[in-house]
Structure 1
Amino acid sequence: MPLIIPSNSQSASGYTISQSIRFNDDDSAYLSRTPSSEGNRKKWTLSTWFKLGNSGINNNFDGLFSAVTSASAFVTIWVNNATYNLDFIQYNGGTTYRVNTPLLTRDPAAWYHAVFVYDSGNSLSTERMRIYLNGLRVTDLYQEAQPSLNYDSQVNATSTLHNIGRAYSSGVYSTYYFDGYQTEIHLLDGYAYDPSNFGEFNDSGIWIPKEYTGSYGTNGFKIDGRDSSDLGDDESGNGNDYTTSGLASDDQQPDSPTNNHCTWNPIEAETLITYSNGNLAIAYSGNSARNMARSTIQIPASTDAFFEMVMTSNLGSGVDFAIGIEDGTAQSDNSNSIYNNAYVIREDGNFIDQSSSGSYGVSFTNTDVIGVWRKANGDLVFYKNGTAMNSGTPAKTGLTGTMFFVAGPFNGASAEARFASSKWTNKPSGVTDSMALNTSNLGS
């Protein structure tokens, strides 16, 4: 199964996606619309590109889409985080039609493309509910209960709430909010299309986006988050805008299938850290170990790399924070392993050189922005609100090998990373946008 792994995934036609919508399940974030006109309930296609956030940590299910008429009549599409498979359900009055995949979608560093087709008028019963993942039809289904001929779904029905970013089951939405990123979300009303309308394989065999140029039907839409002030704006020309809830303009993010950005990796073994806001925010309320979050993208050897973190809690008096780099060789677990193998600045200004502590910089606390620059020549320099610590003298030299950015909250500390250069607010002199960790910059 070709995965959307970190890659510079422009199509042959040069099609690029510049942004995505970040859904944070802690904010109960979603988009919604109730159609005023009946569409085609027997035939429709949903296509979406998604990247998981804290999958399986906060919720049992990541809800991609749903259409809910009542507690006993709904369509729901989610990622089941117990098994990491895609699940496509039509439920009405105790009758459940369902197909789901045995394939895993659990990599928080990857963009995936999923297409769900409902075509109950198809004479072949096995074609009535279909799932495609990264360009390929899933035929080896974990479960398969196909609808009867010409069975009406809830999608495209009037008086039915359609949701992006939350699913529905057992009469509630509360545990089915999506956490992560979605973009290029298409609903085609009256069309049963395969993924070739939305993507293509590049020369490396990676499934990548291409522009959809077809029709949308009565209730169809294209939502990609390009307008930060109106994330639910329908770009199809139909005017089927979706209303936002729990979303803000900052939830327009530059992370996309054609330029995959770095985040923190929530499937590292440090389960003491909590992740949110698309795996950019980290926190830890305990004090049993100094866990460190690692970046999803590795810093290549002898390469300039920079990022920022804004502190979101008061620090000091035992509330600690550490930020810097590490070579990735330490065991990831609920102990001090990565911390003792890292090169980090602490909130008190001390520099930790693989567990050896010494005075170096200045203290920092809530709202301060800390910059980390690993230079191509191996120098490691830290910044507070854009000003170099220790007059720019490197905290460490000779660190030219491959590295990861790391950060670790302790005893109630929290902070949020800014890996994307468009989010940097205190860029030091000499730092350029090309130093951000994303696949366009890395050329991969």
Structure 2
Amino acid sequence: MVELHSINPLLGCGDPGDPIEYSCHFDGNAYMYRDFQAGNRKIYAERVLFKLLGDVPTPLLFLNAAGAVGTYAFNYLYNGQIHTAEQQNHSEHLMYVLAKNRHRDFAGFVDMLRIVDTTKPTASERVEYWFNGRKSSFAAQTWPALNRDTFMNQAVRHYLGTFYPGSVSSAKSQALKADYIFFDGKTPSPTDFGYFNAYGHWVPRLFEGKGQGEPVYGTNGFHLDFSDPLDLGKDVSGNGNHFTTMGMTSDNQSTDTPSNNENLMSVLDGKGVTNTEAGKRFAFPSSYVSVRSNFAVHGEGPFELEIEATTTLSGNNILHIGMCSSELGIVNRAMGQSSAVPGALGMAVGKGYEAATQQAGSGSVLNVETPTSYPSGTRIKVVWRKEDAELDFWVAGVKIWTTPMDISGPVHFFLGGYASGCRVTSLKAGSLKAAPCPDILNPDDYFTERVAVNGAPVNDMPWNMEQVETLTLSYRQDAKEDTRVSDTIDGAGLSWATNTTGGIASHTGTLAAYQGNGYSFPDRAGIWVDYHERISRETGLDVINVDHVNGTPTTASHHLGRPVEFAIVVPHSGGNRRVFHKDMVAGRYLTLNKTETEKTDPNWISSTAVDVTINGSLPTGRYKLILHCSVENYKDIGIYKGTSSNDGAFVLMPFAPRMVMIFRPDIVGNHHLSSVDADGGDNPVQRYLNLESGGSGTTIRHMDFLSNGIKNRDDNSDVNGGEPIYLSIAGTPLKFARGQ
């Protein structure tokens, strides 16, 4: 196995781009306005870095203009899609363009550039959307007429963060916005504001024309960098096009930026949780639900989460607060209940729970004498004194309990409740700026995807496949055909299928030859998607062949450096392919090539950090073992709880995922594989592959691929019911991930 490292310690951790110092907090009440003079109504552009804070129906994130009665230019986000719309007579659309990409990411900043130019001869080129340096496709469009004067840049009042002063609060922005720039009569390039660094991450670039006035920005152009807390509407373009702020104070200035992405409580966790007030207010349903922080807590501390009850806490109305392991997933029951929740430290406040707390390792419960009810407005707080390795729990200004912080590994804040509500009054949970540097800065150097058409050779791989051991999975996207797996261990010309019981042999569609930084499949017809992963301890992947005799356990060495967490066992001569996952009940397995429930074969596979054993129950023969383990910031192997609703499960991951495989052991269901690239890079990812039935990729299920995990957006039972298990691989480490 070849060991590779992408970090040069002399260069530091990657390339974060130019620093963005400040953002402005649009909290659902605050907005800005300015009276424009007549400008270029045919050509304009708008660029902003934004981070969503609340899942409101129609947040008016961008610049809007209200002219004559019933005549509007409004640019907004609805159900995650950015709209550029102009309307007259309250209903007639003169321009209506929707980006295909849906933005439902609440953990990272999106870099957006929107360009309108009605002078272009081709209608479909008159509006452009760019997100994180990539041009977006469109979901629907009514293109503006050639040379049409838009409603923007009229001599009317323009609003930022709302439509007009009487707009309902649900239509106002709930977002952080940074480096907001508007151009009148100019069409800048995305590379004026950012670039893809050597690791494939889109990072910010400070605009070189800052302060140069009308020649750069145009007549109504402005540049808001939010650096003056006493004048957040101050224009630094040099044009003096300052905005008047409404409902803003110096507290609306924030240091939460793409350069210092701060940790907030997730608004995606928890079925039935209602979130308002720009991500700060939570209302919990009558069944217990909890939410976590967007990512693990990083930095020196001390750290704290303080909440204020917005309902009376008594009877079964409780609030729950604490810290949990990143591996735990959602804390799905309150502390103090009879069943233990190892991996969490928390305190539940309300009658019947009386500040019940639970130790992380032992699951023991400590009940502290407290009143039987607490009024609305009660403050509840947990403080992690990292330097002392202790947690303090407070209720109504009184310290209730101090306990050693004995949760190992990365940890998150969590809060939850039964039929109750709270408002986050203080959250100090660090930022990604303080996160450790990932060992793999560019996952594409280790796991990559290629699309080949009609047998065309591929010659742009990031590594030399004649020198680096590689595992390849290939499926046909435009027609149903066997999904094939090959590797450099057995060599070119041999493969096996995920959807049959056939042996490892030469098959039509098998990779024919490795050719330096490429390969060839000359007999393939149609469109094929190939996934490739390096076989390396660094990627948590090993592939070995073993000769086994029935009745006797077989033990072989592997090179993962830790126990196996996911495995596929394939008989060379043919037969069912078994799947092992660390979160399945011990002794059980799934059959990869069938839609059937899990089977039992006690102790059929086991492992240590250096070897793996298959027991004597397997038939005599030669077996291929594909072995995986988790790798921090690169590969995540775990379990989650489905919701069986369109408000689907949110699966927290320590990266922006590129590919995920999902299995449901307890039902007769499909074995699911989805990836960002196979669906064209748009969100949500709808195309998926059923591993047990072969290509082609189907377009049914909706799944958001986000900067910190995945969010199921439909009620399909295979991926959003019961407790699915998964394996995922990173597209971008969380430290550098942009919002999607």
Whether TM exceeds 0.5 here: the answer is yes
Q: Does 1:165 align with 2:161?
A: yes
Q: Which residue of 1 aligns with 2:38?
A: 38
Deviation string, structure 1 residues 15-61 (Cα, Å, up to 9, x no partner): 21122112222x3x3211121x2111111110011111222xx3245
In structure 2, relative to structure 1, the CA distance for the partners of 1:405 and 1:200 (3 Å cut) is same
SS state at 1:103 partner: strand
Please state how far the C-alpha of 1:374 moved relative to its aligned partner: 6.2
In structure 2, relative to structure 1, the CA distance for the partners of 1:403 and 1:95 (3 Å cut) is closer
Please state how far the C-alpha of 1:153 moved relative to its aligned partner: 1.1
Q: Which residue of 2 aligns with 1:400?
A: 408
Q: Which residue of 2 aligns with 1:90?
A: 86
- 1:195-344 alignment to 2 at 5 Å? 195-214=190-209, 215-277=216-278, 279=279, 281-284=280-283, 288-299=286-297, 306-311=303-308, 313=310, 317-318=314-315, 320-329=318-327, 332=330, 336=333, 341=341, 342-344=344-346
How many residues in Structure 1 have an aligned counterpart in Structure 2?
Answer: 401
Query: RMSD value over aligned CA atoms?
Result: 3.4
Equivalent residue in structure 1 for 2:104, among 103, 106, 131? 106
Equivalent residue in structure 1 for 2:180, among 167, 176, 185? 185
Please state how far the C-alpha of 1:72 moved relative to its aligned partner: 3.1
Letter in 1 for 2:248: L
In structure 2, relative to structure 1, the CA distance for the partners of 1:213 and 1:10 (3 Å cut) is same
Letter in 2 for 1:178: S
Please state how far the C-alpha of 1:303 moved relative to its aligned partner: 8.0
- 1:372-411 alignment to 2 at 5 Å? 372-373=383-384, 375=386, 379-382=389-392, 384=394, 389=399, 394-411=402-419
Identical columns (%): 23
Deviation string, structure 1 residues 268-311 (Cα, Å, up to 9, x no partner): 1342343433x2x233365x2332220001247x9866223253
> Is the Cα–Cα contact under 8 Å of residues 186 and 221 in structure 1 kept in the other structure?
yes
> Is the Cα–Cα contact under 8 Å of residues 270 and 289 in structure 2 kept in the other structure?
no
In structure 2, relative to structure 1, the CA distance for the partners of 1:316 and 1:174 (3 Å cut) is closer
Please state how far the C-alpha of 1:384 moved relative to its aligned partner: 4.5
Letter in 2 for 1:259: N
SS state at 1:416 partner: strand
Letter in 1 for 2:76: W
Q: Which moved more, 1:140-149 or 1:190-199?
A: 140-149
Aligned-partner Cα distance in 1 for 2:24–2:153? 23
Q: Which residue of 2 aligns with 1:4?
A: none
Deviation string, structure 1 residues 308-352 (Cα, Å, up to 9, x no partner): 32536586545643221112455649x637996331134455423
SS state at 1:266 partner: coil
Q: Which residue of 2 aligns with 1:22?
A: 25
Q: Which residue of 2 aligns with 1:427?
A: none
Larger relative contact order, structure 1 or 2 (CA cutoff 8 Å, min sep 6): 1
> Is the Cα–Cα contact under 8 Å of residues 299 and 305 in structure 1 kept in the other structure?
no
Equivalent residue in structure 2 for 1:351, among 357, 372, 395? 357
Q: Which residue of 1 aligns with 2:130?
A: 132
Equivalent residue in structure 2 for 1:416, among 424, 428, 435? 424
Q: Which moved more, 1:302-311 or 1:84-93?
A: 302-311
> Is the Cα–Cα contact under 8 Å of residues 362 and 389 in structure 1 kept in the other structure?
no
| Contiguous gaps of at least 5 residues in structure 2 | 1-12, 210-215, 437-734, 736-740
Please state how far the C-alpha of 1:442 moved relative to its aligned partner: 0.9
Aligned-partner Cα distance in 2 for 1:175–1:284? 17
Q: Does 1:442 align with 2:435?
A: yes
Aligned-partner Cα distance in 1 for 2:70–2:15? 41
In structure 2, relative to structure 1, the CA distance for the partners of 1:270 and 1:404 (3 Å cut) is farther
Aligned-partner Cα distance in 2 for 1:332–1:398? 18
> Is the Cα–Cα contact under 8 Å of residues 14 and 199 in structure 2 kept in the other structure?
no
> Is the Cα–Cα contact under 8 Å of residues 282 and 409 in structure 1 kept in the other structure?
no
Deviation string, structure 1 residues 154-180 (Cα, Å, up to 9, x no partner): 21110x221112248xx9666422222
In structure 2, relative to structure 1, the CA distance for the partners of 1:413 and 1:126 (3 Å cut) is closer
Aligned-partner Cα distance in 1 for 2:327–2:300? 19
Please state how far the C-alpha of 1:221 moved relative to its aligned partner: 0.8
Please state how far the C-alpha of 1:115 moved relative to its aligned partner: 0.8
Q: Which residue of 2 aligns with 1:53?
A: 53
Please state how far the C-alpha of 1:266 moved relative to its aligned partner: 0.8
Letter in 1 for 2:217: Y
In structure 2, relative to structure 1, the CA distance for the partners of 1:174 and 1:151 (3 Å cut) is farther
Please state how far the C-alpha of 1:258 moved relative to its aligned partner: 1.2
> Is the Cα–Cα contact under 8 Å of residues 77 and 88 in structure 1 kept in the other structure?
yes
In structure 2, relative to structure 1, the CA distance for the partners of 1:313 and 1:9 (3 Å cut) is farther
In structure 2, relative to structure 1, the CA distance for the partners of 1:384 and 1:230 (3 Å cut) is farther
> Is the Cα–Cα contact under 8 Å of residues 309 and 417 in structure 1 kept in the other structure?
yes
Letter in 1 for 2:358: I
Q: Which residue of 1 aligns with 2:698?
A: none
| Contiguous gaps of at least 5 residues in structure 1 | 1-6, 421-435
In structure 2, relative to structure 1, the CA distance for the partners of 1:173 and 1:89 (3 Å cut) is farther
Letter in 2 for 1:395: T
In structure 2, relative to structure 1, the CA distance for the partners of 1:161 and 1:238 (3 Å cut) is same
Deviation string, structure 1 residues 218-237 (Cα, Å, up to 9, x no partner): 11111132222222221222
Q: Which moved more, 1:344-353 or 1:217-226?
A: 344-353
Deviation string, structure 1 residues 205-255 (Cα, Å, up to 9, x no partner): 121211112321211111132222222221222221212223333222221
Please state how far the C-alpha of 1:186 moved relative to its aligned partner: 0.5
> Is the Cα–Cα contact under 8 Å of residues 382 and 388 in structure 1 kept in the other structure?
no
SS state at 1:235 partner: coil
Give the structure with the higher percent strand. Answer: 2
Letter in 2 for 1:24: D
Aligned-partner Cα distance in 1 for 2:406–2:423? 28
Aligned-partner Cα distance in 2 for 1:310–1:407? 9
Equivalent residue in structure 1 for 2:16, among 3, 10, 27? 10
Please state how far the C-alpha of 1:203 moved relative to its aligned partner: 2.2
Aligned-partner Cα distance in 2 for 1:85–1:337? 36
- 1:146-157 alignment to 2 at 5 Å? 146-157=143-154
Q: TM-score when scaled to structure 2?
A: 0.49
Aligned-partner Cα distance in 2 for 1:361–1:137? 59
